[in-house]
Amino acid sequence: MRATLTHAIEDYLKIIYDLSVIDAWVSTSQIAKALEVKPASVTGMIQKLAAVTPPLVEYRKHYGVILTPEGERVALEIIRHHRLLETFLHETLGFDWDAVHAEADRLEHVISEEFEERIAQVLGDPTHDPHGDPIPDRDLQMPVHATTCLSELRVGQQARIERVRNDNCELLRYLSERGLLPGVEISILDYSPFDDNLYLQVQGRPESIVLGPRITGQIFVELK
């Protein structure tokens, strides 16, 4: 019979979706790390997700999982909740850019379809959240969005920041203090090959900035 979608199940599906962007098959330990639980707990859960009807993941022992169409549907539903909530918290309630994630992570499991619909309307059906992440539409289709990573840029290139990975609120605060927000224009001044540092100029700021690969790998841009 059809599975009850508990909060934990929803969080697992959401994280599996996110991780599968990098590689379609997702390993037990990737999930464990992302959710900050032990690998043994992940094995227990993914075996359950694979055993319900209809299955939410396909599971290969000692190899990993991939979302089924049904699992992906549920994941996108929760991701839509999460990103609409982040946008609402920021735009309508005035939460800081870096404070919305934790709040949305709890609310996403609890709001009704009516709540989802009403905040979407209040916000005018936004296509991106405050971090620039795309929001699936009512039919759970993802809008097209930038996939060029800032770490790929080299000297002389210019770009506009589209999105910033949002799971670390210290990083978000660090970036916003330096003006590195979605929509902002940047140009690359220099690149040092051994440490992969990028020297860049943020439009409207006097000083230049140096960013290491741990940061530039989290920022996605649209080339000019």
Partner DNA sequence: AAAATAATTTAGGATAAGCTAAATATTATT
Partner DNA sequence: AATAATATTTAGCTTATCCTAAATTATTTT
Q: Which residues make up the interface to a second copy (CB under 8 A)?
A: 89, 92-95, 99, 102-103, 106-107, 110-112, 114-115, 118-119, 122
Decide which of a second copy, Mn ion, DNA, none touches 94; Cβ closer than 5 to 8 Å per partner kind. Answer: a second copy
Identity of the residue, 142 or 149, whose beta carbon is nearer to Mn ion in the bound complex: 142
Q: What is the CA radius of gyration of the chain?
A: 19
Please compute, for residue 54, the number of CA atoms within 13 A of its CA located in the half-sphere on the CB side: 8
The region that residue 10 occupies, defined by phi over 0 for left and psi between -120 and 50 for alpha, beta otherwise, is alpha
Cα separation, 27 vs 25, in Å, equals 7
Residue 3 has what DSSP assignment?
P
Cα separation, 61 vs 144, in Å, equals 34
Chain residues that interact with DNA, rule: CB under 7 A: 4, 6-9, 11, 27-30, 35-48, 59, 61-64
Structure tokens that stand for 7 in this block: 């909060």
Decide which of a second copy, DNA, Mn ion, none touches 115; Cβ closer than 5 to 8 Å per partner kind. Answer: a second copy
Stretch of 8-16, 40-48, 58-66, 144-152 lying at the interface with Mn ion (CB under 5 A): 8-16
Closest distance of CB 3 from DNA, Å: 8
Identity of the residue, 6 or 141, whose beta carbon is nearer to DNA in the bound complex: 6
Cα separation, 201 vs 221, in Å, equals 14
Closest distance of CB 89 from a second copy, Å: 8
The residue from 72, 86, 98, 116 that contacts Mn ion (CB under 5 A) is: 116
Decide which of a second copy, Mn ion, DNA, none touches 116; Cβ closer than 5 to 8 Å per partner kind. Answer: Mn ion
Residue 123 has what DSSP assignment?
T
Decide which of a second copy, DNA, Mn ion, none touches 66; Cβ closer than 5 to 8 Å per partner kind. Answer: none
Closest distance of CB 218 from DNA, Å: 22
- Residue of 161, 170, 179 lying closest to 214 (CA atoms): 170
Closest distance of CB 108 from Mn ion, Å: 5
Spatial CB neighbours of 44, under 8 Å, sequence gap ≥ 6? none
Cα separation, 179 vs 185, in Å, equals 10
Which residues here bind Mn ion, judged by CB under 5 A? 11, 77, 105, 113, 116
